[in-house]
Chains A and B, each alone.
Chain A
Amino acid sequence: MSEEKQCGCHGSCQGSENSEVDESRRDLLKYMGVASMAGAMAMAVSPEAEAKAYEEWFQTHYELMNEGEKQECVQRLEERYSEEYAKNTTVSTAPALKGVLFGYALNIQKCIGCRTCVHACVQENNQSRYDPEIQWIKVLKMEKGGTSFSEHELDKGYPESERMGNYGLQVGGNAYNPAGVSIEDSQRYYDTEQVPEKDSFYFPVQCQQCEKPPCVKTCPVRATFREPNGVVVIDYNWCIGCRMCQLACPYGARRFNWGQPNLPKEDMNPKTHYYGNRPRMQGVMEKCTFCLQRTREGRNPACLEACPVGARKFGNLLDPQSEIRQVLATKKVFRFKEEYLTYPKFFYFMD
């Protein structure tokens, strides 16, 4: 009787269909459960995290946010980084200092090519550590010889300096007697047991923080811009990864994250700045910012602090008494040839 009630066939099916239905239903539920679990495990993120990711993905340019939106954005980032890297991470939004225009100078006579600055930069600025390690500073090795650094060579030859004026084309010698160094023969991947090598000198190259930066001009969404203190920054969340800025930069100073950056938790520097060393994501551009998370607090860039020979000088170009202005006033100063009219604020000098 109970069978009749269950299947309603008055015993004609003898319970066979009933058992089949039960079994397949159980299977169905089982499969659905397993599939849901698999799906949930694969997604492995809570709806809250998804919502945050969505908000971050669709946030507007940081400079266009109101104060409330900025606070919300920074809080969201801090929470995400703290969770992701298991460290209490801060994202500073300290603005550019007023009355400051940063300049950098590097003594090529002192630089020994040890790459300590490169590694200090990587540690400070949360760059990808492997596959590959992204470095913002590249050290070029040059052979000594065949170059003229003598100042009196500058005014010799044709065209005459008087005809061209004191500025412009004549600087750096002329077609017959160039006074300068071509980077063409430089080596970037030198790997020697000991530095400095005899008859070699070294040029660390990083973002030149141009006064008229071509990278800024080419950015179609204004994700990269020059701050009042002369540092060119990037809003990583607004960058669309078109790489136009990378093509425009004549110094190859910009790095693109082709893959997800590999930053181990233990290596992460939790003291970050929104425009500076906060962890980046795949598909965005990054570059040197003169360690703005440090310089905005009155500290020196990490590369300068790490340099074992004191080859690096950093300071305010607006202050005539600053070290950088003293270097410009009293030393033999080099710069990359002014073909692009970018006005780099990174100088190389000799005593």
Chain B
Amino acid sequence: MTKQKDEKVDVSRRSFFTRTAKAAGGLAAACVAATGLTKAVTAASASAPTVKSKAGYAQDNQQQLEKMSKQQMVLMSNGEKDQMLDEILRHHYKETA
């Protein structure tokens, strides 16, 4: 009777370990799979032009148009040309800290 009881205990312990191992293995496998799939999905979504990135490019274009529309192209007098060149060259040779 005692022997039979011991055997039952052995069996349930083994099944407990088995189940634990199964659960741990299953969890690990699920983690690996989930990580891999997440990465695949992320990589795919990064390479494809998303709505957000398209909107970003469009917004940049619009921004540049607006900036340029405020610009004015002006003719430089000889005096201004000299001054500009002088300023640029002086700035170029200036020692900086």
Which residues of A does B touch, CB under 8 Å? Answer: 8-10, 17, 21, 24-25, 28, 31-32, 35-36, 38-43, 101, 131-132, 138, 140, 149, 151, 154-155, 166-167, 171-173, 178-184, 186, 188, 203, 205, 211-212, 230, 246, 249-252, 255-256, 258-260, 282, 317-318, 328-329, 332-337, 343, 345, 348
* Bound: A212/B72 CA distance, A: 19
Q: A40-B36, A172-B72, A183-B68 are in contact. List 15 more A-B contacts (CB 8 A).
A: A8-B11, A24-B22, A39-B36, A41-B36, A42-B35, A131-B54, A171-B74, A171-B80, A182-B72, A252-B68, A259-B50, A317-B85, A329-B81, A333-B75, A337-B73
Interface string of B68-85 (1 = CB under 8 A from A): 111111111101110111
Which residues of A have CB within 8 Å of B52? 258
Chain A: minimal CB distance from B97 (Å): 15
Nearest B residue to A212 via CB reads B91
| Residues of B contacting A: mostly | helix
Whole-angstrom distance from the CB of B89 to the nearest CB of chain A? 7
Interface residues of B in 15-42 (CB under 8 A from A): 15, 18, 22, 25-26, 28-30, 32-33, 35-37, 39-40
Q: Is B65 an interface residue (CB 8 A)?
A: yes
Name the A residues within 8 Å of B92 (CB-CB). 101, 211, 230, 318
Contact of A180 among B25, B49, B56, B75 (CB under 8 A): B75
Q: Are A31 and B7 in contact (CB under 8 A)?
A: no
Give min CB distance, B83 to chain A, whole Å.
5
Interface residue count for B (Cβ, 8 Å)?
55
A101 to B25, CA, bound (A): 65
Complex partner residue of B72 from A40, A251, A337, CB under 8 angstroms? A337
Is B46 interfacial (CB-CB < 8 Å)? yes
A251→B67 CA distance, assembly (Å): 6
Q: Which residue of B lies closest to A350 (CB)?
A: B75
Q: Are A183 and B76 in contact (CB under 8 A)?
A: no
Contact B33 A336 (CB under 8 A): no
CB distance from B34 to the nearest CB of A (A): 8
- Contacts A36-B32, A39-B32, A317-B85 given: A335-B73 contact, CB under 8 Å? yes
Residues of B within 8 A of A149 (CB): 75
If the complex has contacts A8-B7, A38-B36, A337-B74, are A101 and B69 also in contact, measured as CB distance less than 8 A? no
CA distance A251 to B71 in the complex (A): 8
B47 located at the interface, meaning its Cβ lies under 8 Å from any Cβ of chain A in the complex: yes
Q: Assuming the A-B contacts A32-B25, A101-B92, A255-B60, are A183 and B73 also in contact, with contact meaning beta carbons closer than 8 angstroms in the complex?
A: yes
Q: State the CA gap A188–B69 with chains docked (Å).
A: 11
Are the C-beta atoms of A317 and B88 separated by less than 8 Å?
yes
A138 x B64 contact (CB < 8 A): yes
Contact A166 B77 (CB under 8 A): yes
Quote the shortest CB–CB distance from B35 to chain A (angstroms).
6
Q: A38-B36, A42-B39 are in contact. Are A181 and B72 (CB under 8 A)?
A: yes
Can you list 11 A-B pairs, Cβ within 8 angstroms, ordered by A?
A21-B18, A35-B36, A131-B54, A138-B68, A172-B72, A181-B73, A182-B72, A328-B81, A336-B72, A343-B87, A348-B73
- Check if B26 sits within 8 Å of A28, measured CB to CB: yes
Choose among A36, A42, A183, A328 the residue that contacts B37 (Cβ–Cβ < 8 A): A42
- Among B47, B56, B70, B73, point to the contact of A260 (Cβ < 8 A): B47
Query: Could you tell me if A256 and B47 are in contact, using CB atoms closer than 8 angstroms?
Result: no
Other-chain residue from B26, B37, B74, B89 in contact with A173 (beta carbon distance below 8 A): B74
CA distance A205 to B67 in the complex (A): 12
Compute how far the CA of A260 lies from the CA of B53 in the bound complex, rounded to whole angstroms: 9
Closest 9 pairs between A and B when the two form their complex, measured CB to CB: A252-B64, A39-B36, A172-B74, A42-B36, A258-B56, A180-B74, A258-B53, A259-B53, A42-B40
Are B71 and A337 neighbours in the complex by a CB distance under 8 Å?
yes
In the bound complex, do residue B71 and residue A336 qualify as a contact, i.e. CB atoms below 8 Å apart? yes
What residues of B have a CB within 8 angstroms of the CB of A188 in the complex?
A: 65, 68
Separation of A58 and B28 alpha carbons in the complex (Å)? 29
Contacts of B73 in A (CB 8 A): 180-183, 203, 334-337, 348
User: With a CB–CB cut-off of 8 A, which chain A residues contact B81?
Assistant: 328-329, 333
